[in-house]
Chain A
């Protein structure tokens, strides 16, 4: 069954092509990417900069979800660690200007974690719904 469309599911998902993107395919693209959810494939989650996340929020996305490899399983060794640190920093920046930090989240997934990725995305959408209540 496809997930229902909510008013704040206009999220952008930055997914590492070595792990998360494959996991999304395994879970079924239609399941994970229903509604207004947009997928942006990146060669490594470490490629995503603070400015990409902030511009996405500025551009009207309710939330930014970053999905990278598990630690010690990153194709580029430290990419997902860099991503996690940048996400933490960007969350602090959101707090500094009075916006909810949970609009930006980072999770680690493996290629074979299709079910887990569905859970992550649904939880993220629920978090955003709570923020907008």
Chain B
């Protein structure tokens, strides 16, 4: 899922200074699960903004709601009336959600309340970790289901590097060495021969280096 965290309140206040009526929109998918932009977080942010405005003797009216997915037009259509009624929208969706809403409602400024951080998993209650960098060329079948792209700070194809010590990465002693994890998993599975293969330099054109990516499914297009 997409993992995000709230921006500092001072940043959000700067975006909405001068506004008197704001719509806060949460997203009930990824950012609800990572507890950054769901219904609960919308309510908390609403309170924080109103209290901040009140402290400065300024008036702020807020309207709060959450939709199923901010990154899909059909869900965004449902809130047209509310968007048009307010001076600005604060989106608690991921970057894709903010952009979809801004594209649909071009007359109303849409501001991001979150920093979209990574694709990851809830490791345990209150802890989320990165697992995928959406490189567009998955190699998990060769690495025991552990992504060296997302979990190695250097994104190296044939690891580990010389900075790996006692299973930890040289950039941070708290960080597991991604390639050590791969090694351990393949050892456990009895598939060490996978590591004998030298991986050629990666073609990054499937990743961000190839520019904004697009998938077209002709069978789906109406």
Contacts and interface: CB of A to CB of B under 8 A. Distances in A.
A97 B44 contact: no
Interface string A36-73: 00000000000001110011011000000000000000
Given A54-B51, A57-B51, A58-B50, A96 B44 contact: no
Contacts of A98: 52, 55
Contacts of B211: none
Interface string B1-40: 0000000111000000000000000000000000000001
B40 A58 contact: no
Interface string B41-55: 001100110111011
A5 interface: no
Interface residues of B, number: 13
Nearest to B8: A96
A99 B52 CA distance: 9
B8 A99 contact: no
Interface residues of A, number: 12
Interface in B104-162: none
A27 interface: no
Contacts of A93: 9, 44, 48
Contact of A54 (B10, B48, B55): B48
A86 to B, nearest CB: 11
Interface of B: 8-10, 40, 43-44, 47-48, 50-52, 54-55
B48 A51 contact: no
A50 B39 CA distance: 12
A49 B40 CA distance: 9
Interface of A: 49-51, 54-55, 57-58, 93, 96-99
B48 A96 contact: yes
A49 B38 CA distance: 14
A127 B167 CA distance: 50
Contacts of B52: 97-98
B51 A58 contact: yes
Contact of A51 (B10, B47, B55): B47
Given A96-B9, A97-B9, A51 B43 contact: yes
Contacts of B51: 54, 57-58, 97, 99
Residue from A51, A55, A57, A97 having most chain B Cβ neighbours under 10 A: A97
Contacts of A55: 47
